[in-house]
Structure 1
Amino acid sequence: MTAMTPGSNLPLDTVRVTVDVAAPVRLDVSGLLLAADGKVRSDADFIFYNQPSGPGVSYRSGGGAAPDSITVDTGALPPGIERIVVTASPDAAGQTFQGIEPTATVRDASGGAVIATFTPPQLGQETALVVVEIYQRGGVWKVRAVGQGYANGLAGIATDFGVSVDEEPAPPAAAAAPVTPAPVAPAAPVTAAPVTPPAPAAPPAPAPVGGGKINLDKGRVSLQKNQTVSLVKGGRPLLSQVKMGLGWEPAYGGRDIDLDASVIAYGPQRNFIDSCYFGKLSILGGAVKHSGDNLTGDGAGDDEVIVVDLGRLPAEATGLVFTVNSFSGQKFTEVAKAYCRLIDAASGEELVRFDLTSAEPQTGVMMAKLIKQFSGEWEMTAMGEFVKSRTVRGMVKPASQAL
């Protein structure tokens, strides 16, 4: 085994190698297939949580208990691919590598024997790294220790190598770091079983026209855009476990559509606290949990479910915004029957429903928000606001502004 230093390289005497990247915190790891011009041929050459395999390259999640890894089969790479870069970024939004230097372990993918290790030294404000690269030189495949840092997250690396990332530009970074869009938040996909809604016993009560609000005393409520319902029943605030079910279908017999439902938690000053999505299935001490990723949108019932225990939410969490994004770039004009519905987790009763009746050619939508009032009651407002963002991280700012 060789301990590598920045810029050093070693020839590989095995066709298949695996690169594990570990750190004291959870990392998002990815691999990019690069041609002679140093760019990907298309977004299909970006291998990560939501696209875990490509020709000759695959991604494996460690699930938080083990390192994420990229495996490269040099014998299966397409002609013209000369380099595979392995990247990493902290899973927590805005966290830098200072004090949490990652270590890459390069090993024989078949036998598991360790070939080399590399820990980039003297990291500071970097939020993403090109850790190592597997490359071909003179007909020989080699591994090189890189350790190049970026100040704008994994999206900075992806954009630098030609991957399309539709996000709002980030503030200018230090001169040494590339300036790129806001960061993508890769993490491991989890396939969730759809939850079929119970058959309605009676039609839901419509909310007042004109944006007024009602409570739950008359039964289920059907909201229109910008309408609000107070989660009060029998004069008492609903402080129990609820589920936000989100569903959609491919429009008019179109291809499968992989949308990602998320919830963003905010404090009383609209300050961001945390996001719960398929790559981070539990936040706020387990008070908010995600069912996992649905990759097609096919079938009846909720595609993804987010469970919120209102009674266990910390006092500083006073706002929740529920969002849906399409990292693959499909627009909401390709989606049909998108909706969100609030369910009593104990009884399975549907409390509130909002059907998205219009669409815009964007990749993100804010579906609904839950806001805690000074009285202690929660209110749900239907939103239906479209945003140009493929990831939940790109929704943090517009959702804050919409609270």
Structure 2
Amino acid sequence: MTPGSNLPLTVARVAVDVTAPVRLDVSGLLLTADGKVRSDDDFVFYNQPNGPGVTHGAGAGGGGDAITVDTAAVPPDIDKIVVTASLDGPGATFAGTEPTATVRGADDGAVIATFTPPQLGAETALVVVEVYRRGGAWKVRAVGQGYANGLSGIATDFGVSVEEPAAPVAAPAAPIAPPAAPPVTQAPPPTGPAAQVPPPMPTTPPSTGKINLDKGRVSLQKNQTVSLVKGGRPVLSSVKMGLGWEPAFRGADIDLDASVIAFGVDRKKIDVCFFGKLAILNGAIQHSGDNLTGEGGGDDESITVHLGGLPSEVTGLVFTVNSFSGQKFTDVAKAYCRLVDAQTDEELVRFDITHAEPRTGVMMAKLIKQFSGEWEMTAMGEYVDSRTVRGMAKPAGKAL
């Protein structure tokens, strides 16, 4: 699954396993239509493993923890169950860690879906997936929303009462000189489910650990991600992805083909825009046409995407370049892609490929629609042996 995508559940009992290379604390919260728990009893975790229709336990094969949801037993006033994961180690973040949620039938173990939140950074806790009602049926949605203040940030966001430790009480100072530092008596620790949750940090907006456009034009390195928002709000309705290259050897012609593959739920290909199909999705994506030589300044080919005109089922776009004639990318110099505001022609994001491989295809960048509705661009630079975009669909889907 990709962020924001959803799938219908075909079984009444599902288990959501969350695994990672490091130890995680996995929890489930039962939320009403206003996005809050009814009481602390709706917070299901290792120290309170049973809630109405929801249980906490070991994942399949003993790997990680799992939240099991019996949809038939969930109270009617509960709208959704969110499954969260937080890091067990003090000060640890999800940077370099890829937690994976696997949704299974709780009775037969059959895999329904998997989801790995992309490009994590400074997050210390995540809402990974949610199981929710829609039109009398149950569905699962990939979320991947990050929090910088741990499980307590999630808990307080959803209405769980988190007790803060009482302030230390100072004992009376000794009455006779020489003065001495007064001893301190610590308050007793809190009890109950809230005692297992760390106290909340000072109020700050949740951090995604990603770059945004607040400081202007962004130059990406491979695997870096930029959120296409400024001042907390999406800033673009139409963008143009410009792709360029030059021959590595003077006098040579380089005929490369730029394309974009549109993906939907569960990484399924919806359509492809390339030199042989210059407009797709009712004109929401348009190609500039084929450049046969790679000569000249500026972008060799460009693809315009009207984000607001994309069908709702489109959640991911992967931009590729292929060498139909069979020339390898070691014969190409100065390959790059850049994201431009299609309204103003202002360059917003640029990615220069600094490493070439003797292959005939490269995935340049991807745009992913987030659960919140905003889009993010990630620099890829991943090479593939394929002379046409047709051979790029499978590796591109895996890369989402």
Larger radius of gyration: 2
TM-score, with length taken from structure 1: 0.47
TM-score, with length taken from structure 2: 0.48
